[in-house]
Amino acid sequence: MQGLFLFGINYWLTYTGIENITSALAAIVCTSIMYFNIIFGRIFLGDNIRPIVAVGATIGLLGVSILLVPEFVDDSKPSTLEGVLFALAACVFASLGSIVSAATRRRNIPIIQLNALGMGYAATMVALLSLVIGYEFNLEFSYQYIGSLLYLSIFGSIIAFGAFIKLVGQIGPDKAGYITFVFPVIAILLSALFEGYQLTLYSLFGLLIILCGNFIAMEKHTALLSKFKNKLVNIES
């Protein structure tokens, strides 16, 4: 289940979606995984919904909405809605995969074996699906193709998901899912460099709102307030 949801269907839907939208917009949509993680974590794992995490996610969603508005009002991009819906569907499966990974981590299944089997099942499923649909397997011997393939395989999959699943086991799927609110910051900057994304004051404001939500959901403000109170107590003493 982890392989099919987190490594297979999720990526298939994501790549289908970014045929119609930029990678920056797809990353923005993917921040919705935070909500799905909170809901699915409650339904399937019995986790409590922490109010502070929900508040942070809501603020982050507001920032996402600010970033999405210009894309939908642009008449030159009629297929934007289709791309967004595919990216949103990918988030649902990615969230379900995160919930499964949290359950397996609670059973102390080792991360390396867990990811190796999951990615193996996912690769098999996607290969069979490609054959059924009628796609051909092509390997392009170019620097761009081989380089991107190695990067996605090693850094974007093996290392990244190993770290993510370890994080899920340590802090739970709700907080772990909040890392997706950092994705748009990186994706928008890269998209501005390579995809022609227009970085405006409007988009920067949206990013600022997302980061504020991140700060709240990770309960960093409580740690700062605690340190501030301790300093006051020391001063009074």
Residue pair 133/70 in contact (Cβ under 8 Å)? The answer is no
Task: Supply the pLDDT for residue 65.
Answer: 79
Report, in this order, helix, strand and coil percent for the chain, each rounded to 5.
Answer: 85, 0, 15
**Domains contained in the chain, number:** 1
pLDDT bin (cut points 50, 70, 90) of residue 124 is very high
Q: Which of 12, 27, 7, 36 is nearest to 176 (CA)?
A: 36
Dmax (CA) of the chain: 75
Distance of alpha carbon 174 from alpha carbon 75, whole angstroms: 36
Task: Supply the pLDDT for residue 212.
Answer: 82
Q: Is the pTM higher than 0.85?
A: no
The per-residue pLDDT of the chain, averaged, comes to: 80
pLDDT bin (cut points 50, 70, 90) of residue 132 is very high
Distance of alpha carbon 200 from alpha carbon 21, whole angstroms: 18
Q: What is the pLDDT of residues 176-197, one digit of tens each?
A: 666 766 777 777 788 888 877 7
Domain span including residue 138: 2-236
Q: What is the pLDDT of residues 54-91, one digit of tens each?
A: 787 788 788 877 877 776 666 666 677 888 889 999 99
Specify the residue for token string 């020391």.
234
Q: CA-CA distances (angstroms) from residue 13 to 22, 133, 160, 197, 203?
A: 14, 14, 19, 22, 25
Tokens encoding 83: 């791309």
Residue 110 DSSP SS3 = coil
Specify the residue for token string 């967004």.
84
Distance of alpha carbon 15 from alpha carbon 65, whole angstroms: 22
Specify the residue for token string 């370890």.
166
